[in-house]
Structure 1
Amino acid sequence: MKYLLTGQETERLSFRLLEPEDFNAWVPLFKEKDVAKFLGMDPKLSPNGLCQAWFDKSFNRYQNDLGGMNVLIDKKTNQFIGQCGLLIQTIDDVKRLEVGYSILPKFWNQGYAYEAARKCKDYAFENNFTDSLISVVHIDNIGSEKVALKNGMTFEKLTEEVFNVFSISKEDWKLSKQI
């Protein structure tokens, strides 16, 4: 569970593990148009089915030390905002560490994804987990692309024909800290 940010905080957010009791709070994400497509999930599933698939994958990641998404809680209101974390992903047959993020629709465009993603990036590099990080974004998901770019990442390549891979090296991260 070394990649999880349990107990970490940003200015507005605290990070904790996903719990089964969070299910109903997370279902609204899957009621949004294109979210299943953006997340590479089966769009034929119902919102509850998509949420269950998400939970199954999340708990599998936790149990198998593959990183995982952390629940983001607003420190002032105690509201469930979304999820963000460090995930081990296999991209073109290579294991890489990803900064992943998903925010509930009612909190979109408020800077939460960037705030949490930046914390994940800093946490990964400060703890020497990797020499580079990625974010994998569906080609039509402009909002998530903007977060990756704002997080200091640059376009690396297209994979699986519909996902852009953005990346940042530890060296580039260090340089950005000096500016």
Structure 2
Amino acid sequence: MTIIDNNPLFTLTERIEIAADPAAVYDVVSDLARSGEWSPECRGGTWSGAPGAVGSVFRGENYRAEDVVGWAPLVRGTWYTEAEVVEADGARTFRWAMLTHTGATQSSVWGFRVEPAGSGSVLHHEFEMSQATEGIHEIVRDLDEAARARFVTEWGAKLVSDVRQTLARIKRVVEDEVEAARPALGEAVAR
């Protein structure tokens, strides 16, 4: 058994408090076409099917710089992925599973979970890769076990960093939108 056979291979959950109600947070995070506003890799994309609905497929445009786990044989520059929405309850949980190049569902699932907290929300960003995807298998195909272990360690650290950056950016986007939607002080006094 190699490190790539670990189950799960990657799993993480990070959270952040956001000064906005859960519905406002959910509306933003379930709109994957906007992910270019917060994701370190995804620049946005297009939907096949109703945006954000279970069964709909999102085709994401992604970009990876040369220095990201720079020694590993990763796709660099622009590349595309497809993911199918697997859970969308419209208020609390939004999850999507990555698809293979032939459209099969992989055990690589990303998601957001929103909970009320006082006058705002807590947003959880979650990821689990139960089994290595076809992309991971391609990356490690020609690596020895020591290099595979190094890749899993460095890729895991990159995922944590990306998720934390994503949450901080989503917080800024949502709170800025809430602030922009508030009536100006002069308007509130005039009412």
TM-score (normalised: structure 2): 0.33
Higher relative contact order (CA 8 A, sep 6+): 2
Flag the structure with larger Rg.
Answer: 2
